[in-house]
Amino acid sequence: MSSKPIRATLLAYALFLLPLPAAAGECHIGDAPTVPDGVTAAAGEMAAAQEAIKAYIVETQEFLTCLEAEAKGNFTPELTARYNEATNRMSNLAVQMNTQLRSFKERG
């Protein structure tokens, strides 16, 4: 028995299971993680927050890509607002985390 039909079937299933760009109106993003207070947070809390924020940035970039695919080169005011809001939230989150990391490191 040839393994080619089995490989083809497995490949078809794998392609079916891969995430595809969302259909119109299906671009979603979760809530931003909380940035801990660098003055009082424990080292583990700061490390966990950093990882959560890194994951959120990846999620935001995927969301932005989804919006771009949804717009198909024709951004409506609503899509533009969603895009800008997500970009600003991601940027502000990174600034907040960096500020709190500096406070954490200054504690010694």
**pLDDT class of 73 with cuts at 50, 70, 90:** confident
> Tell me, what's the pLDDT at 8?
45
Residues 80-96 pLDDT 10s: 999 999 999 999 999 99
Residue 44 belongs to what domain range?
Answer: 4-106
**pTM above threshold 0.85:** no
Cβ contact 38:102 at 8 Å: yes
Mean pLDDT of 46-51: 97
As for how many domains the chain has, the answer is 1
> Tell me, what's the pLDDT at 5?
52
